[in-house]
Amino acid sequence: MRKLRKKFEEEHEEHFDESWLIPYADILTLLLALFIVLFASSTVDKAKYESIMESFKSELTGTKIETHNAGLSVSPSEKESDEKTAKEQPAKETVPAPSKEEIELNQLKAQLTKYIEDNHLQAVITLQDTKRGVEISLKDVILFDPGKAELKSSSFKTLNVLVGLSKTVSNPVSIEGHTDNVPIKNAAYTSNWELSSARAVSVLHFFESKNVAKSRLQFVGYGEYQPLFPNDTKAHKQANRRVNIVILRKV
């Protein structure tokens, strides 16, 4: 019995106190977590890094975290949010202010539109704003008798208005004659080219007689070769017989 007691006391003396392993393991766990978080947040900004440090300071020392942004926040900083928003939003295109020429041409177009509407001329005069310029198209019936190139006196009123408006700008003026595809049947003109050119020249001389600078004027005769419509009906042929007065954009 004495021997058994002695043996038990020897074994009891050889047993070491292992209570220190618990806090040691806790420290190792926290350090491991620290390194994992540091690795994962290697691109985190300064504010987020300080927040992480405060969190670990609280865990290790028991001190209270005073910052309202404590812990591992997944919300981006205001700077990051602003940068992201700026990247996501498409760049606003800067619309250039209209040039003086464009303003003048727009005013001219508005005045022409008003004149055509006030005088109910929509059936014989059309207006377009094209890349070339402001294009005024007059059907031949308002200007000429069939097969002729002399201006009718009844056309002078309309032409005077067009001349006056053309003087509000300094742009070149192109006067362009067109016909249908019906062959010319008089001795004065051998083809529709001659007829379309002669009609354009008549309008040009009218502009010149009203003191429009000669350097601004030019003409061309296209004959039947630039029709608006196929020459398959009477209405289409009438629409193709026209004189265009184009207030050209400056190059």
Would you give the end-to-end CA distance of the chain in angstroms? 125
Q: What is the pLDDT of residue 148?
A: 95
Asked whether residue 128 falls in the same domain as residue 164, the answer is: yes
Residue 30's closest CA among 2, 9, 52? 52
**Could you state, in chain order, the average pLDDT of each consecutive group of 10 residues for the chain (251 residues)?**
56 59 76 74 64 66 54 53 63 79 94 96 95 97 95 97 96 98 91 97 98 97 97 96 97 81
Specify burial of residue 238 (Cβ count, 10 A radius: 0-12, 13-18, 19+).
middle
Identify the pLDDT of residue 23: 75
Whole-Å CA distances, 75 to 89, 121, 174, 214: 20, 68, 66, 73
Helix (H, G, I), strand (E, B) or coil at 182: coil
Q: Which of 68, 88, 108 is the last residue of a domain?
A: 88
Domain-embedded: residue 33 = yes
**Cβ contacts of 208 within 8 Å, gap of 6 or more:** 214, 217
Instruction: Look at residue 10 and tell me if it is in a domain.
Output: no
Q: How far apart are CA 135 and CA 97, in angstroms?
A: 23
Name beta bridge partners: 221.
Answer: 177
pLDDT of residue 102: 93
Do 149 and 64 share a structural domain? no
Give the total number of structural domains in the chain. 2
For residues 60 and 107, state if they share a domain: no
Question: Does 149 lie in the same domain as 46?
Answer: no
Q: Is residue 159 part of a domain?
A: yes
Q: Say if 112 falls within a structural domain.
A: yes
Query: What is the pLDDT, as a whole number, of residue 84?
Result: 61
Same domain, 74 and 139: no
Q: Are residues 80 and 110 in the same domain?
A: no
Distances in Å between the Cα of 17 and the Cα atoms of 8, 12, 13, 24, 200 are 17, 11, 10, 14, 118
For 131, residues 6+ apart whose C-beta sits below 8 A from its C-beta are 249
pTM, two decimals, is: 0.64
Residue 175 sits in which domain range? 100-248
Query: Would residue 65 count as lying in a domain?
Result: yes
- Domain presence at residue 233: yes
Q: What are phi and psi of 215, to 5 degrees?
A: -70, -15
Rounded CA separation 89/104 (Å): 36
Instruction: For helices 192-209 and 156-166, give the axis angle rounded to 10 degrees.
Output: 70
- HEC profile for 185-211? CECCECCHHHHHHHHHHHHHHHHHHCC
Per-residue pLDDT at 161 = 96
Establish if 190 belongs to a structural domain: yes
Q: Are residues 137 and 42 in the same domain?
A: no
pLDDT score for 70? 46
Q: Which amino acid is at 225?
A: Y
Partners of 42 in the beta sheet? Answer: none
Say if 146 falls within a structural domain.
Answer: yes
Return the amino acid letter for 31.
L
